[in-house]
Every structure is written in C-alpha cells, then in structure tokens.
Amino acid sequence: MKPPLREERFGPVRFLPGPNRGKYPHCHSLYVEGAGVLIDPASDRERLVRLRDEEGVSAVWLSHWHEDHLAHLDLFPGVPVWIHERDARPLSGVEAFLDAYGLPEMSPLRDFWRPVLKEQFHFTPRIPDRLLSGNETINLGVTDVRVIHAPGHTPGNLALYFEKPGVLFLADYDLTPFGPWYGDLESSIEDTVESVNLLAGIPAQAWLASHETGVFHGDIPRLAREYLAVADRREERLWDFLSQPRTLDEIVDQWIAYQKPREPREFFAHAEAALMGKHLDRLARLGRVREEGGAWART
C-alpha cells in the first residue's frame, strides 16, 4: 500500500492532498496563502473546515464543474465562486449538471445520480460570482496567476500557472495510468490532446495535479506522452474489436477503458460507453467506421 500524501508548500501555494491519494470520488485541493483562495474544495472535508475556520477562505476557484471537484463547496456558503464561463451552467442545478454528462431524461442512471449528488457530494446550486477566461493574469498580491483555458476534459477546463513559485496546476490532466477522461457531452479527444501538449510545454518548476501522485517534477513532456498514449491504445483496441460489426453494448462489454467490469455496473458501463462513443465519433469523422443497423463497422 502506498503511503498517504502530505501537504506541501510551493511559495504561497499549498497542496492539500485528498483522502485515498485523491482517487475518485476525492481530489486534491490547492490553497493560496495570504490570498485566501481555495481551488477545487474536494479534498479532506475536516481539513477544509479547519482551513476555513483558522485561516479563512475569501474565494473558491473551480478548475471545472465535475462533482469530485466541488464536493465540499457547501462548506463555503456566501464565498464567491469563480469558474470558466463554459463550465458555469452545470452548477445551476442538478438537472443541468446531469445534462452536461449527457444522461438521457427519464433514465435509471439519472435517477441514480440525483441522490448521489446531494448526499455524497453535497451538491447545492451555485451561481458563479466571476467567470474566468483563458490568458488573463490575476494579481493575488502574493503571486500572479495566469489562467489557461485547456478544454477537452470539459469545455471550460482550466489550468493555472502561479508565476512566483513557477507552479503549474494541471487539474484533471492528472498524468495517471488510467489516462485522460473525455466522456462528457461536450468533451473532446482532439481538444484533450492539444491541451495536454500545451501544458507539457510550459516550463514550470513543479506540476500539481488533482488525483493520485499529485506532485510532479522532472520530465513532464515524457509523462504527458505516456498519458496521451493511453487514448491511442484505447482506439487501437477498439479498431481491432471492430474486425466485424459490433453494437455499442458489445463494445462496452470489452471494458477497453476500465480494463474490467466495475461496480456499480450501470455507472461504469455508462462511463465506458461515453469514452468509446467519443472514439467511434472520431473514427467516423475520419471515415474509418460507420454505424449501420445499430452496429458499428469498419468502412
């Protein structure tokens, strides 16, 4: 078993590890000392309560709208919330949130998610107080922060470059062995590749991510290539499986992305279908596959 992660400081930027090394449904948070800015409030709930009560939180920034990045936002009622304009709508209510995942109306999975969002992730609707945009630089007094629009994971996904300590926050481009997620309604494989390559080219001193390892030094371009190669392998396996026509259900049963069936099955089957659907759409745009009679086949 790997040891738990510890808090680390990079100038005024503090890395706050989440439970279980920040694996979903948790994530790591960042806190900017002296400015009171908390980024992605979904690490350890008790730690965030102490942070709020002992040091204060003046604003909450969200790298994107996913539930595992706002799970403890309820601890900060009345605190201004900042997010990219293209990720603001899912915060407005449960139904808008589920729409952004592409869940069909009246589906059992939608019924599954409603209580989970409220009970496990403490979801309450919020209207953002400030809409962030890419390439703006914000002076926090203790450091300047360059906001980088890095879509693909979500349409408004943000990375943050803290100039004074030279730290780049990658958010959910987390360089984990699982590889990138691009399964939402408005996610994009192509945008993900472009964004990861963009971030890998920024010459930071340290790279912080939202899940698992969390803190990186060294050859980030190599790690980024390995991370994106996971998506390539998914598509190669899918292409091999399409040696004869296959339905989406048959494709999901291969568990190309998740490697094996997981529970709750309905949840993970939807996630697998979402990821494979993005690859099928991509292959169709390239003219390599087509859907006919409810099955996908090579052209």
pLDDT digits (tens, 9 = 90+) for 147-198: 999 999 999 999 999 999 999 999 999 999 999 999 999 999 999 999 999 9
pLDDT digits (tens, 9 = 90+) for 113-157: 999 999 999 999 999 999 999 989 999 999 999 999 999 999 999
Order of strands across the sheet that contains 13-16: 8-10, 13-16, 29-32, 37-39, 59-61, 81-84, 130-132
Q: What's the pLDDT score for residue 149?
A: 98
pLDDT digits (tens, 9 = 90+) for 71-89: 999 999 999 999 999 999 9
The CATH number, out of the four listed (1.20.272, 2.60.40, 1.10.357, 1.10.10), of the domain defined by the range 242-298: 1.10.10
What is the pTM (predicted TM-score) of this model?
0.96
Please state, in angstroms and rounded to a whole number, the distance separating the CA atoms of residues 12 and 291: 53
Order of strands across the sheet that contains 137-139: 137-139, 144-149, 158-162, 167-171, 206-209, 215-216
Domain ranges of the chain: 8-226, 242-298
Mean pLDDT of 222-229: 98
Mean pLDDT of 268-288: 97
pLDDT digits (tens, 9 = 90+) for 40-59: 999 999 999 999 999 999 99
Mean pLDDT of 251-259: 98
**How would residue 90 be classed by pLDDT, with cut points 50, 70 and 90?**
very high
* 120's tokens: 């496990």
**How would residue 290 be classed by pLDDT, with cut points 50, 70 and 90?**
very high
Please state, in angstroms and rounded to a whole number, the distance separating the CA atoms of residues 194 and 274: 20
Please state, in angstroms and rounded to a whole number, the distance separating the CA atoms of residues 168 and 174: 12
- The CATH code belonging to domain 8-226 is 3.60.15.10
pLDDT digits (tens, 9 = 90+) for 192-212: 999 999 999 999 999 999 999
* 157's tokens: 């996904």
Q: What's the pLDDT score for residue 1?
A: 74
pLDDT digits (tens, 9 = 90+) for 256-269: 999 999 998 989 99
Answer yes or no: is pLDDT of 225 > 90: yes
**How would residue 2 be classed by pLDDT, with cut points 50, 70 and 90?**
confident
Non-local (6+) Cβ contacts of 142 within 8 A are 11, 12, 32, 33, 34, 35, 164
Please state, in angstroms and rounded to a whole number, the distance separating the CA atoms of residues 63 and 87: 9
Please state, in angstroms and rounded to a whole number, the distance separating the CA atoms of residues 50 and 63: 22
Non-local (6+) Cβ contacts of 38 within 8 A are 29, 30, 31, 32, 48, 51, 57, 59, 60, 61, 76
